[in-house]
Structure 1
Amino acid sequence: MKLGDAPAKFHARKLDPAIAGALIKHLSGLDPYISIWLERVFGTPRTFPPQVEQSRAEARDAVQLAAQLAEIELPSDAFVSPRAETEDETLLQTLLNMGYELDLEEELLPLDLQRFDGKLVGKQRAASVAVFTDKWDQKKLVVMSVNKKPIELELGVDLLYWDKIHDSFTFVQYKRLEKVPSHRPSGGSEWAYKRKEEIEKQLKLMPAGKDSPAMAADWRAFGTPFWFKFVRGDAGSVLDGKTLKGMHIPADWLRLAMKEETFKSGPKGGFRVTYDNAKYLGRTAFTQLISRGFVGTAGARSKAFKRVLHSKKRELIVAVRMDWQKDEEPLGMTSAKEAVGARAAFGPPELPFE
């Protein structure tokens, strides 16, 4: 049907309800999708609880990232909100166009994998690896998701950072805070993590040994390369190109606090990790410590982990973890015999991302 050229000045005009109904009926006869589209546009949108909305936002972000990696264009209705009268469905059924479900990777940590400090430029090398460079285009930082891989199972981490300049690995386990009623005199609410058993399980996997550096290049401000990142449940609602806001807590401090009464701030002394009782770093301080070589592995431990990344054997990861449980001798090699022994144990450095 050819409607002809639109008038030079065309303004929307409200139609009489009877005329509008007749027009919609006529247009629906020409194309049944028109009535479906109008219902989606003008129908009452479905509302979800805040926790479900957070999950929907994170899933949407993951699918958009997957589409970017695959260089495909999502359909315009991929994220259309269902109508209010629709019954409960699974997250994917309500959020995604069915034809794109396979593009959602379980292992993606999309909210932080492609972000660092807002200054370094990130380039996706694989679905779970991003490389950040500075303005001189020198490789500086590799961010890798190890979710659902042997490294996660044996070391209890989700994401690792490899600072190539300082040859240092930093490991991060993510935890989501939930909004709960506050027991402070002022009342209100607060963000807290209450699953004590989960933290205890992951702390057992993270080695507790400390390096004893003999060279300035191997000195670190923290004795552990393992960290927990506690993120608010609504952190995905506002994205600014940087990593998510949250609490970055070193595993060594968390171990001590778990043994004491630091987190007994819930009802009847219940377990809660909150902004009020935790010793933490914000995202700006944490990213600066990584990029300047103040945190992470050094010396033999960095070399050992390169070998772990190259082979991906669980038994090798276990061996590294057991070795890291012991306090090391100074990292500087003081004799030819030590140098030969280290080379035999770890082999030459291998760079898996080159």
Structure 2
Amino acid sequence: MTYIVTLTANQMAENEDDWLLTQRFTKGLPTGLDTSDTGTRLVFLVCDIEPGRFITWVGSVQRFNTVGPVDRSITIEPMRRCPRPVPLDDPGGILASLSSTHRAHVERALSGSAGHCGMTTWQALQEALLRSHPELARYIEWLLANLSPVVFDVEDPADQSWQEQRDAAQSLTRVTDFPHSALSAWGRPASRDAPYLSGLIPEPVENSLIDHDVRAGLGSETLVFDSWRGLSDVRCDIHVLEDSDGRRLEVVNVNATPVESRLGTDMIYYHHPTHSFVLVQYKRLSPNKEYRVNKQLLDQMDRLERVAELSSQPARSHEWRLSQDSCFLKFAHWRDGAAPTTELARGMYIPLSYARVLLDDDCTLGKKGGRIFSYERVGRYLVSSEFAELVKHGLVGTVGTSVEQLRDFGLKRAREGYSVMLGFETSEETPRARSIRARTRSAKKRPKVNSYSPPASPQPSSDAPGS
């Protein structure tokens, strides 16, 4: 179904300030309205005001809610304000360009506070909208991509790699408290070897808001990893998230090898104010949710243990960590190839030192002498939410590592054969302010966020792969 919600001018005015912050609206549905989970699940919010009716917001149905024995409601999230109101009623309005049949279906949906139309009417409505308002194309494309995520082939190496990289991207938004939707809308790239971010469908943002924020100072900083996009032996894509409080997350996705010879995916998160980073190495559990330890894993663990050598001893209170572990293994599994775009893969986060203990414990010993990681054999592990909380509060990670060390390490990992998803966060937050923000759950207190893929800067012709 494609839903149409009609509000008066007063109702719209009462809600718009809240929508701009939360991007969420829950709307009760008329009793008896069909809520079959079919069709596009797009929502158009219409303002009924003299001299007519106008589409002013677009969104998608995140979920259907049961209010009582009969009544139901929908939660619309995410939602975006249209670049300009779309008139429905004047001679040049959308309704006038529809056939009588489709116009009648839309009018029926508009007759109450909420209604819907079927797929054939939606297709006619979409054609009319994009014909007269082509600026809506990126809004509709982004919403539909979130509603209908790509189905991954879990037997295909390229899809496996993109699935892991997507999970790493979503993990970065979890530990930084940036919107998950900013990195979720995606289409499969043309090249199997391309990074996940190369297929990202950018989040639509009003041009007027971008212009205002640039004038206010956002978007003016130089990209720390921009030079990677000029290297001849790697493919690097960058996306930036910035909020109105001055926090900035530079998301860097780099590959240097063909997907068939790739070793897996690394997520690296660096918090610049505290000069600390955390690494997560992905390992895929088999369909029966087991991982058989092999020489490759043991060699990789040896290399990851050397990361601890980059860390200094804590000298200030915010540098204290629960342990010296800055590297984790995520033994992950996906229930199918089409998990919701903002859902993290189920799995076990295991600190490297704990993995060593497990490998010496009889609990991981297989019947034929090999070692196995599985839910049944690993008694304790972190889940995604627990891991994210530790990172948010700076309780895990390196101490005193420089940006130069991060750049060298990240590029080395890519050239060794890993897909690297790196998040580089900068801000003026104190450690205390960071903890307070991490504990704040109210969406109304969150600052506004810009999300964009910056163009690559011209690179000097003398740039070499090892520079």
Give me the TM-score of the superposition, normalised by structure 2: 0.37
Task: Judging by fraction of residues, say which structure has more strand.
Answer: 2
Larger Rg: 1
Give me the TM-score of the superposition, normalised by structure 1: 0.47
